[in-house]
Amino acid sequence: MSTEPFDLDQMRMLSAVAAEGSFSRAAATLGVTQSAVSQGVRAVEAALGRQLLIRGGRGVEVTPDGEAYLIYARAMLKIGGDARRHFTHPKVAGVIRLGLTEDFARTVLPAVLGLFTRQHPGFSFEVECGLSKIMFDGLDGGRLDTVIAKRPAGRSGGERLWVEPFSWYGRADTPHPVPDPVDLALIPEPSESRRVMLDALRRAGRPWRAMFQSHSFATLEAAVLAGVGVTAFGRQMHGPGVAELGEDSGLPPLPALDMVMVQAARGTSDATDSFCDLVREAAILGVAPVPDQAAG
């Protein structure tokens, strides 16, 4: 048994006794014998020449010296834990080549990127942001290692992270019902959002006209705020001043789209795998919309 009063194992024992109010419960919590805990506490008290705990019929009480010791012990245990995590965390290195759609980049990416760069400093990212089909073309062509995007029509496979509800949006003073022809603000081909909107309007027999087209969500939003037309967004994407258009707008309902993550068939680096693990955790923990667990 160590005679060093700031031995981490003994500090852990004394902290557990103080927290549990009992030597037996502290031993159970730590997974050691009660005699080992008793010996550890006595060794600390002997090394310091101070009584830290009072053993009584009603449990264990912490003395003023014990309270002072615990302040330092808890701080040192925290530092020790932080150091252990830092030096035992698997180190990864390299370049991460990602293809993203703007809806992921504007919603989930900041949290995931911030956490990853804190855990794995020194990484460089090469990120392309654009339409789903173009991102998947980059993956298939070997330009990208991983794509996180809406699943394009006709493409199977990949890991479904969540299901993204789609809704119509317009200015708050958009006429209800929306008159024909429906004036639209659209992303150019080959956009999944565009396909979903136009398919829904065709099925409903609604005439439409493209009044504004842009690859940027920000400029589409500007067009909507200007009253140029209506558009469809995932429910996390719209900004202030843009109103969701409900059933009374007369616009047809829109299907949800799968947000998927696909890694290159040739395999990816440890760095990319670590980043993808964090994306999965973000989806599970609700940084992203709650995922539909059915196979996609």
pTM of the model: 0.59
Q: What share of the chain is helix, strand, coil (3-state, %, to 5)?
A: 45, 20, 35
* SS (HEC) of 35-61: HHHHHHHHHHHHHHCCCCEEEECCEEE
Q: What is the mean pLDDT of the chain?
A: 83
Q: Give the pLDDT of residue 182.
A: 95
Q: Which residue has the higher pLDDT, 268 or 166?
A: 166
205: left (phi over 0), alpha (psi -120 to 50) or beta: left
Q: What is the distance between the alpha carbons of residues 95 and 272, in angstroms, rounded to a whole number?
A: 8
Averaged over 223-241, what is the pLDDT?
A: 81
3-state DSSP assignment of residue 107: helix
Distance CA 163, CA 28 (A): 44
Q: What is the pLDDT of residue 1?
A: 52
pLDDT, one tens digit per residue, over 141-194 is 888 989 988 887 777 777 888 888 888 999 988 899 999 999 999 998 888 889
49-107 pLDDT, tens digit per residue, is 999 999 877 788 899 998 999 998 888 888 887 777 667 665 556 788 889 888 788 77
Q: 6: left (phi > 0), else alpha (psi -120 to 50), else beta?
A: alpha
